[in-house]
Amino acid sequence: MADQVIIFDTTLRDGEQSPGISLDVGEKLEIAEQLARLGVDVIEAGFPVASQGDFEATQAIARAVRGPVICGLSRTAAADVDRCWEAIQDAEHPRIHVFLATSETHMKHKLRMTPEQVKVEAARAVAQAKAYTPDVEFSPEDASRSDFDFMCEVLQIAVDNGATTLNIPDTVGFAVPEEYAARLAKVREVVTGDYVISAHCHDDLGMAVANSLAAVAAGARQVECAVNGIGERAGNAALEEIVMAIGTRPDFFDGLTTGVRTEELAKTSRLVSRLTGYPVQYNKAVVGRNAFAHEAGIHQHGVLVERSTYEIMDPSAVGQGESQIVLGKHSGRHAFADTLAKMGITIQGDALNQAFVRFKELADRKVQITDADLEAIVAEELGGGATRVYELASLDLHGGTVGEPSATVVLTREGVKHEAAARGDGMIDAACQAIRSATGVDATLIDFAVNSVTGGVDALGDVVVQAEYRGRKVTGRGVSTDVVEASARAYLNAVNKLVRLDGVEAKTPESTP
Ligand code: KIV
Ligand code: ZN
């Protein structure tokens, strides 16, 4: 048994049969060239008789791409086999892939052929292909729903007429792993001759990869698959998953390997996604953008200490760069500090603790925390943390087009609550008035500027104010997804500086803890 699994890529044939995908010749060529760089063994370039475009793309790939076998798909009709050969004859290593259904339902309703006619047709077409090239593959379409003995008869005929690869398609994704593996193993026992046995699985029940891998364990030495798992209906087995499963579990797969340069996987996935218009789901195995991203604090800590705690593959081995620590509401202090350190921000002690608290508050409101958000939070803490006297505990606002805007603010100073309510021209004005009366610092707002940190409806508002009190001018800064809250924070930050600078005593609290 050979120790390398042949990776037969059908992105450009079965993959292109996905609803809504239509690639032009240039796009197919670009993908084929990348597949060659990726190191697949066989590229199924197209189904030349299907359309003039398919013919031209297959021919262009056969003429330009060197390295992999270039395969064309063909029905058994003599004209189809001729057309297939015409398209691939200039390939360095050409292969004709002939298919003919062997299940009762396909023979009866689609082919309208008797089992005897199917045998004759298979023999004739394989022999015709063999006259063109020594490399001939045969597929009994809908193999997993075919009568086993009849299918083996047809497979034996194909081998006897020169087929060197026997592919067992689970055309409608009907098989389950144990059953599919057993079917393949039994074919190997019953059908004699020198051939490679191949798996071709569809994902209608979400088992295309599992079925393909079960087939490998049962002796398949070729797997037909497509980048990102694209293909008819629910798709084909995903190439990247097959390759990485074999590569990651040599203990289970008996030391088998593939010739794929795995570092090219992510790039290939992106190219296929871009040209087909099929997005890659975030949590897609191996190539999804979250495949190596960690959000929960416990996982982040584990990965920061030792990557293998929560990763079974090295992201750089599949071209995904480094593990990502994604800051979100589940993240912990380690990940927060580590991210800041990677951004070149050194922050320690109380400022770090306060920044972490602010980050957690923000993460509860904002789906994605960007570097710019972190910078804004830290800038606020570094600017205000040293002079924090009053802390904002809560802010309750009422506004709109009816009635006078009002605000109730609860501040704490050394653990003591200071609460006040006020009305104003607008909600920002009301919030500042409330802070004035809670602190007793009647600072005048003389300048106000608001900037949006990044875009989107949940962007952070970054507010910088200038305030004046007893002839002294100070600036204050505040950030929040709510611009009124950001303004209140900025104003409070300025008030805190004034209190520090002027040594203003705490106002008698209106309510106690
Ligand atoms: O799914 C299928 O049966 C096929 C064959 C043409 C191999 O794609
Ligand atoms: Zn298929």
Q: Are residues 358 and 392 in the same domain?
A: no
User: What pTM was computed for the model?
Assistant: 0.79
Q: Which domain range does residue 335 map to?
A: 293-364
Q: Is residue 382 part of a domain?
A: no
Q: Which atom belonging to ligand 1 lies closest to the Cα atom of 73?
A: 6
Cα–Cα distance measured from residue 426 to residue 405, given in angstroms and rounded to the nearest whole number: 5
Question: Residue of the nearest CA to atom 3 in ligand 1?
Answer: 171
Cα–Cα distance measured from residue 261 to residue 385, given in angstroms and rounded to the nearest whole number: 50
Q: Which atom belonging to ligand 1 lies closest to the Cα atom of 14?
A: 8
Residues 6+ apart with CB under 8 A from 219: 1, 184, 185, 188, 197
Question: Residue of the nearest CA to atom 6 in ligand 1?
Answer: 99
Q: Which residue out of 10, 17, 95, 99 has the highest number of ligand 1 atoms within 8 Å of its CB and is therefore the one to mutate?
A: 99
Q: Are residues 330 and 396 in the same domain?
A: no
Tokens coding 509: 């609290």
Q: Are residues 253 and 303 in the same domain?
A: no
CB 2 within 8 A of CB 221: yes
Cα–Cα distance measured from residue 351 to residue 502, given in angstroms and rounded to the nearest whole number: 23
Q: Which residue out of 14, 54, 224 has the highest number of ligand 1 atoms within 8 Å of its CB and is therefore the one to mutate?
A: 14
Q: Rounded to whole angstroms, what are the CA distances from 191 to 158, 356, 478?
A: 10, 66, 76
Q: Is residue 510 part of a domain?
A: no
CA of 230 to the centre of ligand 2 (A): 10
Cα–Cα distance measured from residue 376 to residue 393, given in angstroms and rounded to the nearest whole number: 20
Within 10 A of 57 (CB to CB), how many other CB atoms are there? Answer: 27
Q: Are residues 63 and 123 in the same domain?
A: yes
Q: Are residues 336 and 412 in the same domain?
A: no
Q: How many CA atoms lie within 13 A of 481 on its CB side?
A: 18
Q: Which ligand is nearest to the CA of 99?
A: 1
Question: Residue of the nearest CA to atom 1 in ligand 1?
Answer: 171
Q: Are residues 243 and 299 in the same domain?
A: no
CB 15 within 8 A of CB 236: yes
Domain-ending residue, one of 276, 307, 336: 276
Q: Is residue 139 part of a domain?
A: yes
Bridge partner residues of 147 (DSSP)? none
Q: Is residue 178 part of a domain?
A: yes
Q: Which atom belonging to ligand 1 lies closest to the Cα atom of 167?
A: 7
Q: Which atom belonging to ligand 1 lies closest to the Cα atom of 99?
A: 6
Q: Which atom belonging to ligand 1 lies closest to the Cα atom of 169?
A: 3
Q: Are residues 179 and 312 in the same domain?
A: no
Look at residue 505 in the predicted model and tell me its pLDDT: 65
Torsion of CA 449, 453, 455, 458, to 10 degrees: -90
Q: Which ligand is nearest to the CA of 232?
A: 2
CA of 247 to the centre of ligand 2 (A): 24
CATH for 171: 3.20.20.70
Using DSSP bridges, classify how beta strands 293-294 and 222-225 pair: parallel, antiparallel or unpaired. Answer: unpaired
CA of 223 to the centre of ligand 2 (A): 12
CA of 467 to the centre of ligand 1 (A): 73
CA of 255 to the centre of ligand 1 (A): 29
CA of 12 to the centre of ligand 1 (A): 13
**Residues of the chain scoring pLDDT < 50:** 1, 386, 511-513
**Closest by Cα among 287, 284, 367, 378 to 326:** 367
Look at residue 149 in the predicted model and tell me its pLDDT: 98
**Closest by Cα among 266, 270, 311, 265 to 292:** 311
- Could you tell me the end-to-end alpha-carbon distance of the chain, in angstroms, rounded to an integer? 77
Q: Which atom belonging to ligand 1 lies closest to the Cα atom of 224?
A: 7
User: What phi and psi, each to the nearest 5 degrees, are found at residue 301?
Assistant: -60, -45
CATH for 400: 3.30.160.270
Q: Which residue out of 200, 202, 211 has the highest number of ligand 1 atoms within 8 Å of its CB and is therefore the one to mutate?
A: 200
Q: Are residues 297 and 444 in the same domain?
A: no
Q: Are residues 268 and 205 in the same domain?
A: yes
CA of 344 to the centre of ligand 2 (A): 51
CA of 211 to the centre of ligand 1 (A): 15
Look at residue 1 in the predicted model and tell me its pLDDT: 45
Tokens coding 50: 């299907």
Q: Are residues 164 and 313 in the same domain?
A: no
Q: Which atom belonging to ligand 1 lies closest to the Cα atom of 142?
A: 3
CA of 168 to the centre of ligand 1 (A): 9
Q: Rounded to whole angstroms, what are the CA distances from 176 to 36, 181, 245, 284, 333?
A: 31, 8, 18, 21, 45
Q: Which tens digits make up the pLDDT trace of 466-507? A: 888 888 888 888 888 899 999 999 999 889 888 877 766 666
Q: Are residues 115 and 183 in the same domain?
A: yes
Q: Is residue 224 part of a domain?
A: yes
Question: Residue of the nearest CA to atom 5 in ligand 1?
Answer: 141
Q: Are residues 38 and 146 in the same domain?
A: yes
Cα–Cα distance measured from residue 166 to residue 196, given in angstroms and rounded to the nearest whole number: 6
Across the beta sheet with 416-423, what order do the strands follow? 390-398, 406-413, 416-423
Residues 6+ apart with CB under 8 A from 26: none
Domain-ending residue, one of 251, 276, 301: 276
Q: Is residue 438 part of a domain?
A: yes
Count structural domains, the chain. 3
Look at residue 226 in the predicted model and tell me its pLDDT: 98
Domain-ending residue, one of 364, 397, 415: 364
Question: Residue of the nearest CA to atom 8 in ligand 1?
Answer: 14
Q: Which amino acid is at 512?
A: T
Protein residues whose CB sits closer than 6 Å to any atom of ligand 1: 14, 73, 99, 139, 141, 167, 169, 171, 200, 202
Tokens coding 189: 């026992």
Sign, Cα dihedral of 46, 47, 53, 57: positive
Question: Residue of the nearest CA to atom 2 in ligand 1?
Answer: 171
Cα–Cα distance measured from residue 54 to residue 24, given in angstroms and rounded to the nearest whole number: 9
User: What phi and psi, each to the nearest 5 degrees, are found at residue 477?
Assistant: -135, 145
Q: Is residue 375 part of a domain?
A: no
Cα–Cα distance measured from residue 479 to residue 460, given in angstroms and rounded to the nearest whole number: 6
CA of 266 to the centre of ligand 1 (A): 26
CA of 141 to the centre of ligand 1 (A): 6
Q: Is residue 415 part of a domain?
A: yes
